[in-house]
């Protein structure tokens, strides 16, 4: 990325492993520009989810550091990182099926005591997801797959983040619903947030991202302007990024 760009997230030289296993990430560095959408692309097991876990504090790196909005955040608790403005919408939707849509959303603002602030957040989240508005009292488990995905993202928005970490938001959705989610990601950015997106669907990821990083076996093997990848067809640039 151009050097004059201002960054909201900087992951610098991160290595991480699960238990005593092999390194899941080796010396990973990436940046998200303020107001930008960055996509992390790679095959299964490349380390995409692990990178988001490190950014949200769910997983501690064994080396390297994570800087968010001018401050170092690695080593801080996930709750402290949420309070600073990072929200993580993990893979697999994770809605609470027996709770209502409204209750699920309110969980995303659990750190906020002020009821008026919580109400405002609910209103602005419902502006992003008008589809959830009519379903506030519906049990979350009865929503369609796409609606559950919107609810999971909506819950993350309830913490009023500066940066949203989205793990495979289009996984298992129909092409039409995937496009709705992609449009939503663009609208969230228009509302002033920055986004780090993990997505297997390269075409959709490229349609929303400004910048892409390619991960392979826990390493960054290339990065590029998303428009350039779009223009040159993803795979050939992916291959050239590796060579």
* Cβ distance to ligand ATP smaller for residue 132 or 209: 209
CB distance 191 to 156 below 8 Å: no
Q: Is 20 in the site for ligand ATP (CB under 6 A)?
A: no
Per the listing, tokens 């949200």 go with: 56
The gap from C-alpha 7 to its chain's centroid, in whole angstroms, comes to: 16
Per the listing, tokens 């092999």 go with: 22
Shortest approach of ligand ATP to residue 20 CB, angstroms?
10
CB distance 198 to 49 below 8 Å: yes
* Cβ distance to ligand ATP smaller for residue 38 or 122: 38
Per-position b or e across 125-143, b if 16+ CB within 10 A of its CB:
bbebbebbeebeeebbeeb
Site for ligand ATP in 48-107 (CB under 6 A): 48-50
Tokens for 40, please give them.
């992390």
Q: What is the spatial distance between Cα 189 and Cα 221, in angstroms, rounded to a whole number?
A: 26
Shortest approach of ligand ATP to residue 221 CB, angstroms?
13
* Cβ distance to ligand ATP smaller for residue 148 or 201: 201
Binding ligand ATP (rule: CB under 6 A), the pick from 24, 105, 220, 226 is 24
Q: Within 13 Å, how many C-alpha atoms sit on residue 172's CB side?
A: 10
* Cβ distance to ligand ATP smaller for residue 43 or 79: 43
Q: Is 18 in the site for ligand ATP (CB under 6 A)?
A: yes
Shortest approach of ligand ATP to residue 168 CB, angstroms?
7
Segment lying near ligand ATP (by CB under 6 A), choices 7-15, 17-25, 66-74, 104-112: 17-25
Return residues touching ligand ATP (CB under 6 A). Answer: 18, 21, 24, 42, 44-50
């Amino acid at each position: 990325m151009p050097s004059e760009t201002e960054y909201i997230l900087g992951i610098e030289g991160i290595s991480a492993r699960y238990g005593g296993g092999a390194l899941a990430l080796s010396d990973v560095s990436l940046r998200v520009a303020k107001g930008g959408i960055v996509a992390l692309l790679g095959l299964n097991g490349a380390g995409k989810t692990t990178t988001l876990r490190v950014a949200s504090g769910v997983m501690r790196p064994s080396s390297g550091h994570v800087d968010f909005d001018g401050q170092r955040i690695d080593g801080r608790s996930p709750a402290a990182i949420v309070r600073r403005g990072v929200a993580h919408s993990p893979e697999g939707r994770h809605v609470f099926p027996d709770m209502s849509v409204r209750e699920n959303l309110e969980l995303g603002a659990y750190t906020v005591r002020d009821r008026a602030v919580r109400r405002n957040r609910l209103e602005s989240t419902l502006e992003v997801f008008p589809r959830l508005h009519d379903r506030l009292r519906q049990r979350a488990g009865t929503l369609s797959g796409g609606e559950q995905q919107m609810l999971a993202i909506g819950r993350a928005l309830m913490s009023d983040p500066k940066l949203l970490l989205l793990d495979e938001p289009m996984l298992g959705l129909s092409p039409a619903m995937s496009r709705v989610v992609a449009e939503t990601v663009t609208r969230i950015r228009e509302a002033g947030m920055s986004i780090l997106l993990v997505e297997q669907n390269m075409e959709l990821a490229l349609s929303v991202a400004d910048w892409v990083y390619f991960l392979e076996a826990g390493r960054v093997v290339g990065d590029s302007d998303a428009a350039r990848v779009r223009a040159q067809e993803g795979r050939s640039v992916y291959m050239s990024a590796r060579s």
